[in-house]
A and B are shown apart, each in its own frame.
Chain A
């Protein structure tokens, strides 16, 4: 029995009080008889299952249960009636139910057994925890991502850090020339940190998209990523694309940098439209993929260039994904690399 303060005594003795409590509570309550026929459902079932209480009363409980649990349910009820042994935990057990419109809802359920007018009744008090479950999944995904980043950062920084320690030791031992190399090693570490930060940012959802000219974004990206010896060749009448301008620029910038770093000195980079699908390509006449593993290209940290961080193309893939685009690598007509972005 529940307890109550003396001044509430008269109130709680009033059955209307209990009725109102059960009827209007936010948890759905459904009672069944030993044949699993629904005897009672409170108002909250409508919010949780989409049915009016009247639609449920008289029906089998399996109406709100996923098919795969039906057989088990009848078996456990029978087993319990025979032996008194509970087949599962009755307190706060997590089970899915089926909503009127067909989708599953995650519930936390507590079962109660009581008798009413000489009959055995089972009641389930059910709380919709779908939102909580979804949040938890999202959190798990984020944690995995974070663990991946942490491991990448720690391991990718280890090589330059070892090089820095070694170079310092060599300098201390009298080889002053080694000191000059430290700058370069530090730059490498800095580039790595910047790329990883940028990559972490790209994993977030796309901000406001707008219709922007592919030609002008390409020129802007080239102004920071390109070099004087290389040429940017834009196809005439490039259209506009719907994208987050800042991130499209980052995507193009990383593709341009990739072409410049892996191509020969006078590399030419083309931007044009795909023939076969919506989207655009960035192609160069450089060395092509050669010994690089095209399946691995977009993986974090993959690089064939000793001074590269291996994050550039991962950033490209993240940005494309965030926009719902697909990106693929192939050989260009000129024997160089060609990246296709399907929008």
Chain B
């Protein structure tokens, strides 16, 4: 830590005004650092970063590439893609935690970042479950039912979600009452 115990957020977007606004919107509750390109983002990332907000379409290196490098270098922070790019099936194998479609505003940004910081404290399997549930929701939002049902990757995601739900079932049983609602909401469980 840097002596600052606020969660640290790295906001990355080639539009300088966008990362500036993210900084303003996240406010004093977070320590926000910014980068306006992929290379700069990779220079800024450290163990202390809790959440990365990552644009996909950037001129120097793409957000997808930055994400890959972040994971290759072993950083386990939460990553939210913040983008105008329509999600395709390629997102299934991308190691991000949340997919945000632009435009996003203050309250939505705060809510998502707060949630991402919170789940990073939970068990790895809950984080995996969150990731899978997010991807399913993202694909369902964007695509027609017929495209989804004809796609193996989507079916595989559903399987994975169901398996993880089973595995985390007990885990959730041991959690404090006040954490529960939060968790259920996050992972879309039907319990």
A residues apposed to B, CB below 8 Å = 151, 155-156, 158-159, 161-167, 169-170, 173, 178, 181, 306
Contact = CB atoms under 8 A, between A and B. Distances in A.
Contacts of B85: 155
Given A161-B103, A169-B25, A170-B24, A155 B84 contact: yes
10 smallest beta-carbon distances between A and B, as pairs: A166-B21, A158-B84, A162-B103, A162-B102, A169-B21, A158-B102, A159-B84, A166-B18, A166-B17, A161-B103
Contact of A170 (B21, B103, B104): B21
Interface string B14-54: 01011011101100000000000000000000000000000
Contacts of A162: 15, 18, 84, 102-104
A177 to B, nearest CB: 11
A158 B106 contact: no
B59 interface: yes
Given A163-B15, A163-B17, A155 B86 contact: yes
Contact of A158 (B17, B24, B25, B101): B101
A237 B37 CA distance: 50
12 contacts: A151-B86, A155-B84, A155-B85, A158-B101, A159-B57, A162-B102, A162-B103, A163-B18, A165-B103, A169-B106, A170-B17, A306-B59
Contacts, number: 48
B105 interface: yes
Nearest to B18: A166
Interface of B: 15, 17-18, 20-22, 24-25, 57, 59, 84-86, 101-106
Nearest to A175: B20
A94 B15 CA distance: 55
A166 B84 contact: no
Given A162-B102, A169-B24, A306-B59, A181 B84 contact: no
Contacts of B101: 158
A132 B86 CA distance: 34
A85 to B, nearest CB: 31
A165 B15 CA distance: 12
A144 B104 CA distance: 28
B20 A166 contact: yes
Contact of B102 (A159, A170, A178): A159
A178 B86 contact: no
